[in-house]
Amino acid sequence: MSDFLPDLTFVTPSRGPGPGPFGRAVIVLLWVGICVLPAVLSVQDFRLATGRTGTPGTLTVLSCADLGQGRYDCKGRFTPDSGGPSVPVDASPDSAAGDVTRAQLTPEGDRAAPAGTRGVLAAMALPAVGLGGIGFLPYVLLYWAGAGRRARRAAVAAGSAVTAAGALLMVVGVVAAYS
C-alpha cells in the first residue's frame, strides 16, 4: 500500500459556505424526524409491554418455520389470565418452539408480545437507535452558528455521552428481546 501513497493527492475540504438556510433547515428536520420516528413507532410496543393495552396471559410457542436468510415465522397459543379460551397467535420471530413466557395479546388478537421487564427492554431497542442518532445534532447546530471551539467541544462530549447511552440501551434491548 505504501507504494501507492505518493500517487494519492490528499485534499482538505475548504470551509466553504455549506448548505444555505433552507438546506440547513431541511437537514435538521430530516435528522430530527429520522431520530424521533423510532420512538413514535414503538409506542404500541411499550403500551403492550406495560399492560396498558391488550390482554395479559401466557404465550406458548408451538412452532417456528425457517423462512430463509435468518428469518422465522413462529406460531403460538395465547392463554389469557382471565381463564378464557386459548387463542392461536403469531409469536415473535425471535422465539423458539416450546418457549413459554408472560405476554400481552394485542387488541387485534393476532399476536402476542412479551410483557413485563423483558417486553419493556425489548421495546426500548428501537427508540434507543433514535437517541443515539440525535446525539451530535447540537454540535452541528453550534458549528453552523459559528460557536467557539469550547462550546463545540462541550457539544461533542455531550453528543458522545448521548450516543453511547443510546448504543448501550439498544444493546440491552436487543439482548432482552433475544433472551
Which candidate, 118, 65, 114, 61, places its Cα nearest to that of 88?
A: 61
The one-letter amino acid code at 25 reads A
Interval 22-66: pLDDT, tens: 999 999 999 999 999 999 999 998 999 898 998 899 999 998 887
35 Cβ contact list (under 8 Å, min separation 6): 130, 131, 133, 134, 137
Q: Any residues with CB less than 8 A from the CB of 143 and at least 6 apart, and which?
A: 152
Q: In what order do the strands lie in the sheet with 100-105?
A: 87-91, 71-80, 55-68, 100-105, 112-114
Give pTM, 2 decimals.
0.74
**Cell numbers placing 99:** 418457549
Mean of per-residue pLDDT scores for the chain: 87
Q: Tens of pLDDT along 51-107?
A: 899 889 999 999 888 787 777 788 899 999 888 888 999 887 777 888 888 899 888
Count CB-CB contacts under 10 A for residue 58: 17
Q: For residue 31, how many C-alpha atoms fall within 13 Å in the half-sphere facing its CB?
A: 16
Are 73 and 93 contacting, i.e. CB atoms less than 8 angstroms apart? yes
Which DSSP letter does residue 129 get? H
Please tell me the distance from the alpha carbon of residue 116 to that of residue 45, in angstroms, as a whole number.
Answer: 11
Planar angle of CA 135, 44, 109, nearest 5 degrees = 155
